[in-house]
Structure 1
Amino acid sequence: MNVDRILQGTEPSALVSRLGREHVADIVEFLNSKSVEEATEIIAHMPLAWGVEVLDQPPFRNACEVIEALPEDKAAAFLEGMSSDRVADVLRWIEEPKKSALREALPQDVRAAIDHLLTYPENTAGALMTTEFVSVPSDWSVKQTLDHIREVERTRETVYAIFVLHPASRRLTNVVTLRRLIFGGPDDGILTVAQPYAPITVAPNADSEDVARTIRKYDLLAVPVVDTTGHILGIVTVDDVIDSIITEQTEEVQRMGGMEAIDAPYLDIGFFQMIKKRAGWLCVLFLSEMLTTSAMQVFSDELEKAIVLALFIPLVMSSGGNSGSQATSLIIRALALQEVRLRDWWRVAVRELPTGIVLGAILGVIGVIRIAVWQEAGIFDYGEYWKLLAVTIGAALIGIVTFGSMAGSLLPFALKRLGFDPATASAPFIATLVDVTGIVIYFSVAWLFLHGTIL
């Protein structure tokens, strides 16, 4: 439903009433299309529970700005009702002194939970987790647990997993799913419907990708975060992981394109900020490409003798770059999914060597056929040594594509081994590397086949 079209020009109070019939996701989409001032005014007219639900949605982009613009008492009331992990995310980006004022306005228990979450680095399990989960002692019955869930349901992130703690030490003992719980007898002990295996957990410093892999592997809706003593600190829900992975993958795609990651939607990025994000890497890559010019200057005499060789430079260079980019993309993704590890670099090299040779041979055959057809059809005259020229192009393609595949597959391993993100400009750097090296390979092959004829 096009909410924006229906509510265009409506007064905030009447607009809030109309919005009450829409799904919260549609409301968030509508508010995202408005300015911060308009969104703030609309949310200020919302009932507390409703405003909390909207502000709690990660897709709502202006939550920080709205909270900062609202009156302090109203903003604090919204923050108190929101999930702790979302509040931590919002407060993380609010400037002082507003941040401290809002923090002090929160109840002591809420403030303690937020402060704890803010100590963890971004994109870790500790930063993603919420402290609002259902936990019960291991000596409780199924009936006691169900009664407890009914009491706390509105204040918990999820009730689909119940975390069972030791009555004395409060350490995590087991996990009970809501499905198993409702099939238990009222007087049965909670442990009789618990999972038959030890609980699946993650450490607070675990990377968000590791958390996602754990949730995917064990088909979980939430995974508990435990410290080294076995005490549960919080839980990471599957929707929080999805939001984090989407953000992280967006940044990786941007880095693979040879630019700094942007932290806002494309249309919201200012002109000068966009220039800043893109100009740096473009300049670095431009300076790197100057090596290609230097390499071509070394072979300037050969170019003067055989201008026809210059006609195929874009063809062979782009083929090597394309092959390298393919290999880089495959390996970066395989590393991210842990399909390959650093120790597997030699297995990748052994696999990519014949792959590059075969791919180069396929392109080489196409290149030879193209030259033969153009020559025989009279489209272009490559001279009396056109057959040697065709063999030169074919052999050069095999060498350049093979080198591109090898370099593209091994560069991500090198970057990861050095502590860098493999996605950081791998594809642009591969293209530059293959361009420079490809010139050397191309003219070396040309000299080998054409020496004594046109060279």
Structure 2
Amino acid sequence: MVEFDVKTVDPYKQIEPIRAALETDDRKTLATITKHFRAGDFSEIIENLSRTQAAQLFPVIRKELRADVFGRISFVHQNYILRSVPLDQALELIRQVPEEDIALLLRKMPRTRARTIYEELTELDPEIGRQLLHYDRDEVGRWISYTFLTAAPADTPRAIYERLRARTPRSHPVVSIYVVDQENRLIDRLELEELVRIEATDPIEKLLDREVTSLQASDSVETAIHRFQVRDAVEMPVVDADNRLIGLIRADDILHLTQDAFSDTMQKMGGVSNFDTPYMMTSVFQQVRKRGGWLAILFLGEMLTATALTYYEAELDQAVVLALFLPLILSSGGNSGSQSSTLIIRALAVKECNLSDWFRIFRREIVTGLILGALLCLVATARITLWDVLGWADYTEHGKFSPELVTFTVAIGVLGIVTWGNVVGSLLPLGIRAVRLDPAVISAPLLATFVDVTGLMIYFTAARYILDLA
């Protein structure tokens, strides 16, 4: 029996020795530890190191692996490594990164450095500049890869195998063969395993059904994300308006774009402008600039609440007890509205509903709001009654109002504002989408401000009639 010498590498067991060697700048020990490391092993190690340690380790990586490792690690480490090496080395690293990853990396870099690298890149490789300038950042064409294999219907599996053998190693393996005509129009897509179904000398035309799913270069990133999700695709061809194949987009690129889209949405819903760099790499000045505008808008919005309270000053003078429950009332409406808007924004993003479903959504949220409002009414009633029975609070204004009327007023206010919050929170995103804007701009704080102002009207109107306020 022949025995083989197998070297098993577990990078996680080497993290602490590597950190110790980095602290003492022991290059010899680092080289010994990482002697049998592959690109994936290095990337796993780097992701468990600090940015400074990653920059120290990177020069130790064998030259033939550096570009592959660089393409696998996170943006935070990529950015720091690019800052730590001379510009010519940075350009060399970036040129080894797939075209679609270059666009993503430059998008996330600080603008000044990104501009410098972009100008140098376009001088060295005009094709990269064409891709980055020709398409908008929200279009599929900005993120496509030009690394793919094509064939003509008359080609044989043997000829395709020869082309595969002649290819230089790539960061992305070949998954599919794209069949095109003489004018490069897309005819079909074949997976490699399909080639074994016919003789090596037979034309691949026998395998073609001429049905292929593709994306337009002008399609939105959101459209691409959705199509990858519903089709469970590994990669998808991208064509121009004349159905000519210009590139493809892969699942790993879609994953990055999905993460970015999720991050952008969360920032918008939190009332923050989009950050182009990670939190720890964003200066205090940038933080203030990105957050200040929204805070000013929300502050002005809250002023409307004060204006509404002034309008109901007479009611407050007659029943000061109403002011005790304002935080309870307003928070209930804001919370219910935020819940509804979050659910609808997500449903729109993943195509679970569309604008034509507005009436069904309206009915559902009315019913949901009434049920949730009724549950909160029970909680509010129990709380007010308990405090009154135990003598912990006097909500009757020294006998001016009965406990039952005060409790009923608060309960009706809660029921009304929770239902209203549900309706507004669900329909407002649909209205924003109808005018072709991003529903995520309805940040939770902004929605809560609107519901606060209108909720005051509901609460004091109910109090005026129930407590018989003049």
Correspondent of 1:105 among 124, 135, 154 = 124
1:255-404 alignment runs, 5 A limit:
255-383=268-396, 384=399, 385-404=402-421
1:28: how far off?
3.9
For the aligned residue pairs, the C-alpha RMSD in angstroms reads 2.6
Offset from partner CA, 1:194-238 (integer Å, 9 cap, x none):
4x4511000111111211111122221000000111111100000
Secondary structure of the structure 2 residue equivalent to 1:176? strand
Are the equivalent residues in 1 in contact too, given 2:271–2:294 (CA < 8 A)?
yes
What amino acid is the match of 1:170?
N
User: 5+ residue gaps in structure 1?
Assistant: none
1:120 alignment partner in structure 2: 135
Are the equivalent residues in 2 in contact too, given 1:28–1:54 (CA < 8 A)?
no
After superposition, the Cα gap between the structure-2 partners of 1:6 and 1:40, relative to the gap in structure 1 and judged at 3 Å, is closer
Q: Percent identity?
A: 31
| CA–CA distance in structure 2, aligned partners of residues 233 and 60 of structure 1 | 27
1:129: how far off?
0.7
1:155: how far off?
3.3
Offset from partner CA, 1:297-349 (integer Å, 9 cap, x none):
22222222222111111111111111100110011011111222223223322
**Large movers: runs of 4+ above 6 Å:** none
Are the equivalent residues in 2 in contact too, given 1:49–1:81 (CA < 8 A)?
no
Offset from partner CA, 1:337-375 (integer Å, 9 cap, x none):
122222322332222122212221221122222222222
Correspondent of 2:441 among 424, 432, 450 = 424
1:233 alignment partner in structure 2: 246
Correspondent of 2:262 among 235, 249, 259 = 249
After superposition, the Cα gap between the structure-2 partners of 1:73 and 1:365, relative to the gap in structure 1 and judged at 3 Å, is closer
After superposition, the Cα gap between the structure-2 partners of 1:174 and 1:218, relative to the gap in structure 1 and judged at 3 Å, is same
| CA–CA distance in structure 2, aligned partners of residues 390 and 376 of structure 1 | 13
Are the equivalent residues in 2 in contact too, given 1:399–1:441 (CA < 8 A)?
yes
| CA–CA distance in structure 1, aligned partners of residues 115 and 447 of structure 2 | 43
Are the equivalent residues in 2 in contact too, given 1:16–1:42 (CA < 8 A)?
no
Secondary structure of the structure 1 residue equivalent to 2:276? coil
What amino acid is the match of 1:447?
R
Correspondent of 1:150 among 136, 159, 165 = 165
1:438 alignment partner in structure 2: 455
* Greater mean deviation of Cα atoms: 412-421 or 176-185: 176-185
What amino acid is the match of 2:152?
P
How many corresponding residue pairs? 444
2:43 alignment partner in structure 1: 25
After superposition, the Cα gap between the structure-2 partners of 1:145 and 1:6, relative to the gap in structure 1 and judged at 3 Å, is farther
1:415: how far off?
1.9
User: 5+ residue gaps in structure 2?
Assistant: 1-11
| CA–CA distance in structure 1, aligned partners of residues 94 and 61 of structure 2 | 14
Offset from partner CA, 1:383-402 (integer Å, 9 cap, x none):
25010111111111111111
Correspondent of 2:155 among 134, 137, 140 = 140
| CA–CA distance in structure 2, aligned partners of residues 369 and 197 of structure 1 | 68
